[in-house]
Amino acid sequence: MSNPPKQMRATVKLMMNSVFTKSREQFFLPSNVIYLDGNSLGALPKAVVQRMQQVVGEQWGQDLIRSWNTHAWIELPQRVGAKIARLVGASPDSVIAADSTSLNIYKLLLSTLSMRPGRRIIISDIGNFPTDLYIAQGIVQLLGNQHELILSETSALADTIAAHGEDVAVVMLTQVDYRTGALHDIEHMTRKIHQVGALAIWDLAHSAGIVPLALEAWGVDFAVGCGYKYLCGGPGAPAFAYIHPRYHPDLAQNTLPVALSGWMGHSKPFDFDPYYHPSPDLRQLLVGTPAVLSLSALDTALDVFDGLDMAVVRQESLALTTRFIELMEPIAEQYEFALVTPRDPHQRGSQVSYGSDYGYHIVQALIQAGVVGDFRAPNIMRFGFTPLYISLDDVAEAVARFAAVMQQGAWRDQGLARLAVT
């Protein structure tokens, strides 16, 4: 993404300030806490509180079974999907909300393998989020070990794909590495994948709602993503799945096997036909009865993106991570933190991670000081940023507290105490 010309910057900054001041007011955040863990669990949009009262008290309590129609519960997966579609650069009927990220990967991976019969290689990144890898391992075993999952180092991915060429059925990658925060160039990598005739499944867990995406324009075949990180849908929120319009005719003609053929994926679920005939569209990714409470929370949470331009979100997100890295510089140097997130803003998502042997204890001490990040084994301290509820002032305050925590040394006592017993 190129920077705007100098004379425009002041205007853009003013606009961003007003945009994000308004968006910050839409979130509930605990007092005296700087929440840098929205990459794990997004903060609570205030409007969700009221929506949950409505859906529980009025819709379930009062209107009961009729709500499936009168409150359109039955359409929640598509309605929520359409809202997410705008954020990921897809047409409204190319995205559907359902189940978990893991289950959606399962559905799409089984489909892609059937679309590339005779090709036996699945490629992923050794640093991919483990559940994606576990699901692939389960499928390989289920299909009688005819396929092989190859886990490549990130830097060697393009070479690994080229080396296996026409043996590659599918490449499944997560755009932003959950530990390092490194960002894949989806368009470029998808082209590499297509060059060998393979299909691409992208996991957008750490990008939907924070990184501008143009899935359809980039020709991305399939994608999944998480509802509870930057999309702020609440703990364990439903996930989403995307299928490029070029495959919609296959859905309509029922040429793709449906991995998980539940009644909500049937073309006429309320006919109670004993034989499965899949819905001619993305609804064939649905399985059981929609999780109305969780879907309703996500539905309302997504309204915080109304009127937000993802390019502007990205610009401010990079301003936040850039400022954090700059201000952290002396601390990182003094305490020998290794910045594992790329310094080049175009190569990172919206988190900043440092490696430190004392990482676990430092993160605990920071949380005590009201700076909430998290720790990922073996030694990674992660800090996630979203302009929707984090400002440049918050970044400065977080770093000031970080410095104080390091100087007070509580982490060191904890850390050494822990080291002493292990």
Calpha distance 346→183 (Å, rounded): 8
Residue 385 is a catalytic residue = no
Catalytic option among 106, 228, 324, 358: 228
Region 161-220 residues binding a copy of itself, contact defined as CB under 8 A? none
Q: Give least dist CB 244 to a copy of itself, A.
A: 23
Binding mask 85-104 for a copy of itself (x = CB under 8 A): --------------xxxxx-
Alpha helices (runs of H) in 243-336, residue ranges in sequence order:
248-252, 292-301, 310-334
- Counted residue by residue, the chain has a size of 422
**3-state DSSP helix/strand/coil % of the chain, to nearest 5:** 50, 15, 35
The reply to whether 130 sits near a copy of itself by the rule CB under 8 A is yes
Specify whether the CB–CB gap between 241 and 223 falls below 8 A.
Answer: yes
Token pair 């998502």 in the structure block, residue: 349
Region 250-309 residues binding a copy of itself, contact defined as CB under 8 A? 257-266, 269-276, 287-295, 297
Region 225-244 residues binding a copy of itself, contact defined as CB under 8 A? 228, 234-239
Count interface residues toward a copy of itself (CB under 8 A): 86
Reply yes or no: is the peptide bond before residue 92 cis, omega within 30 of 0: no
Residue 22 is a catalytic residue = no
Q: Which stretch binds a copy of itself (CB under 8 A): 43-51, 160-168, 312-320, 329-337?
A: 43-51
Token pair 């601390």 in the structure block, residue: 331
Q: Which stretch binds a copy of itself (CB under 8 A): 56-64, 321-329, 354-362, 405-413?
A: 56-64
Token pair 């793709």 in the structure block, residue: 256
Question: Tokens at residue 120, please?
Answer: 């036996």
Token pair 């990714």 in the structure block, residue: 285
Residue 229 is a catalytic residue = yes
Calpha distance 389→382 (Å, rounded): 17
Binding mask 345-384 for a copy of itself (x = CB under 8 A): ----------------------x----x-x-xx-------
* CB-based burial label for 3 (10 Å; 0-12, 13-18, 19+): exposed
Region 8-37 residues binding a copy of itself, contact defined as CB under 8 A? 28, 30, 33, 35, 37
Q: Which stretch binds a copy of itself (CB under 8 A): 3-11, 55-63, 192-200, 334-342?
A: 55-63
φ/ψ of 171, rounded to 5, equals: -120, 125
Among 82, 87, 133, 215, binds a copy of itself (CB under 8 A): 133
Among 5, 10, 32, 64, binds a copy of itself (CB under 8 A): 64
Catalytic option among 37, 203, 374, 394: 203
Residue 421: partners with Cβ closer than 8 Å, 6 or more residues away: none
What amino acid positions are annotated as catalytic residues?
129, 203, 228-229, 382
